[in-house]
Chains A and B, each alone.
Chain A
């Protein structure tokens, strides 16, 4: 479906594209949203009047905007502010590195949130939050007033010594925010010399998508085995061991991709010299041909600049019954920026968004949030170009610790990777993206 649609657009040529109505051009980006999708309806005014502004149109922000409308009704005005005109999915983006997909096929527009749910989508960059005056100030100088604010800016990266400039970052791209760097890294892997070394690093947890780096190591190794025999994948992990799906990735590293992946736990990068392609690590110098260091992470910049990063100065503390900030009443933080016991990943960000939307709607009615929320995480991880594993967890609110606790028994990974899981992964991604963006 994706291929034929892209071919169709390609055959039209750029000139013809320019003459199409904007909605049709934008719709072309939503290759994973089935045309048979039957959107939910926005009910009429439910007696809830208010203005909610959402900062950030990722998995969390898009989902909260949609659910505020379908659960809150027409009286609730929802404005979504996003810097980019479309969303590049991080989920599945490791499949760009082995040539299975292109970034273009992982692009999602905000058009359906506008069209189906009446979300007011504003393309703009936020410069500040005025918590007292209850407005968001944009870099353009304009401001947008709110009764409640949801902040979902995702993550920001720490700078690795030696990678201070954009030019040096392109010589050692992290590709941990899907987009141009993903395609760049793909091209660097393809162009790597025969028998070369691909070096990647994993930062200390917490970071976005816990299984992601291990999945990436597997997919790059799998591609190199077939296309560049004799080359190696060195994985430096600042953590003491594999932090997600230890059974499947452990087996993948030592059996499936044995002799290709060289996994070095407890090792961190101190600096990188892009001129000599030398990586200085806590265990000595390593020469590499393609360098893919994933830097340490913290909450999106607006969280720190607005004083919401009360957890270690890096993440936003929240009440997980409502995702209301621990330090700013009326301001909620969801997704990767929030400090919770839940993983930083798209599937659970979608569920955090629903808990937050429900709590905001109740709050407009003067009601307390649901006292016993449940959230879930599920994800599939390719181990080769044709097989995948999965990981799942259910979290329930624990009133004693006031945290979301992993429900005993309801946590686990696949017995083994399979082609069936790869097929399931596509169904999962189709539904997850449709639930979030359409």
Chain B
């Protein structure tokens, strides 16, 4: 009888460790940090570029996908947007949606 209980506790402990581990590097954060150089730490841009913090995920993903779809135009953001898959773009948008603009 004792053994299963111990296993149960071990499972719980490992699940707790996993939950804690997950908070150390939230999904999308490292990917989204590619935007920080121009759009500010956590999307709080300074000096005139668009602020991404607090925008909805849909808005950000929509803009990036629109840029990717444009042909014949070679703007820096269009070329840049082509570097990310749609799944990565969604993760980036989700991350900025969790940030506050101030």
Contacts and interface: CB of A to CB of B under 8 A. Distances in A.
- Indicate, yes or no, whether A interacts with B: yes
Interface of A: 34, 36-40, 46-48, 67, 70-71, 347, 350-351, 354-355, 358, 361-362, 365-367, 370, 373-376, 378, 390, 392-394, 396, 407, 409-412, 414-415, 424, 426-428, 430-432, 434-435
Contact of B41 (A40, A370, A410): A40
Given A37-B46, A361-B24, A434 B83 contact: no
Given A48-B24, A431-B39, A432-B37, A354 B30 contact: yes
B11 to A, nearest CB: 18
Given A362-B24, A374-B88, A375-B34, A431 B79 contact: no
B37 A351 contact: yes
B80 A432 contact: no
A424 to B, nearest CB: 8
Contacts of A430: 46-48
Contacts, number: 118
Interface of B: 20-21, 23-25, 29-31, 33-34, 36-42, 44-49, 74, 76, 79-84, 88, 102
Given A376-B83, A431-B47, A370 B25 contact: yes
Contact of A414 (B20, B25, B45, B74): B74
Contacts of A355: 30
Contact of B42 (A40, A366, A410, A428): A40
A35 B15 CA distance: 44
A241 to B, nearest CB: 22
Contacts of A431: 36-40, 45-47, 49
A39 B41 CA distance: 8
Given A365-B24, A428-B38, A374 B83 contact: yes
Contacts of A40: 41-42
A34 B47 CA distance: 7
A435 B37 contact: yes
Contacts of B23: 46
11 contacts: A34-B46, A36-B46, A71-B25, A373-B30, A374-B88, A375-B34, A392-B76, A394-B80, A410-B84, A430-B47, A431-B49
Nearest to B102: A38
Nearest to A410: B83
A427 B49 CA distance: 7
B80 A434 contact: no
Contacts of B46: 34, 36-37, 430-431, 434
B80 A376 contact: yes
Contacts of B33: 67, 351, 354
A53 B69 CA distance: 44
B83 A38 contact: no
Contact of A415 (B34, B45, B74): B74
Contacts of A427: 38, 47-49
A23 to B, nearest CB: 20
**Most B-side CB within 10 Å, residue of A46, A374, A411, A432:** A374
A390 B79 CA distance: 11
Contacts of B37: 347, 350-351, 376, 378, 428, 431-432, 435
Contacts of A36: 46
Nearest to A348: B37
Nearest to A380: B76
B25 A374 contact: no
A341 to B, nearest CB: 15
A376 B34 contact: yes
Contacts of A393: 83
Contact of A390 (B24, B29, B47, B76): B76
Contacts of A435: 36-37, 40-41
A374 B33 CA distance: 10
A38 B47 CA distance: 12
A378 B42 contact: no
A38 to B, nearest CB: 6
Nearest to A434: B46
Given A36-B46, A350-B37, A427-B47, A367 B21 contact: yes
Nearest to B18: A367
A41 to B, nearest CB: 10
B82 A407 contact: yes
A374 B47 contact: no
B15 to A, nearest CB: 15
A148 to B, nearest CB: 15
A192 to B, nearest CB: 35
A374 B74 CA distance: 21
Nearest to A415: B74
Contacts of A70: 41
B95 to A, nearest CB: 13
B52 to A, nearest CB: 11
A370 B24 CA distance: 12
